[in-house]
Amino acid sequence: MITESTVKQTECELIVPLVASGWTVRDAAKEVGMSERNAYRLSARADFRERVHRIRMEAVRAIQGRLFESGIRATQTLGELCEDGPPAVRVAAAKTILGKIADVSSNLEFRERLQEVESMQKEL
């Protein structure tokens, strides 16, 4: 039996990934054929926001993994440059990659710590 709860769950499953990937609530609603009013009502729910946040954090972690892989190649490039001479473009690229790894790592670590604090606060 299809209930209102089932319909809302299905609507939520359709719109959450779009909003998580950067669509506005309005555009996501239009894309899935949902009324804008219902979409905004749905997006105000805590479970909706949590699902959007979870999807975004998964994407950040995936990006961090790719940056770390690139960082290994960047350090190899820097090592080669130290031995073979300094092509300026390669050095600049390697430094950029290494700088981004630090940025993403700091950001992810901060977010995880914040989530831990929020979890501890909820338990109080």
Report pLDDT digits (tens) over 58-108: 999 999 899 888 878 887 877 677 667 666 877 777 777 778 788 888 888
User: Is 66 found in the same domain as 16?
Assistant: no
Handedness of CA 106, 108, 110, 113 (dihedral sign): negative
What is the number of domains present in the chain?
A: 2
> Among all chains, which residue has been given the structure tokens 């905004």?
40
Domain-located, residue 9:
yes
CB 31 within 8 A of CB 22: no
> What domain range includes position 20?
1-44
User: Is 24 found in the same domain as 70?
Assistant: no
Percent residues over pLDDT 90 in the chain: 48
| Among the listed residues 59, 123, 68, the one whose alpha carbon sits nearest the alpha carbon of residue 115 | 123
User: Is 33 found in the same domain as 62?
Assistant: no
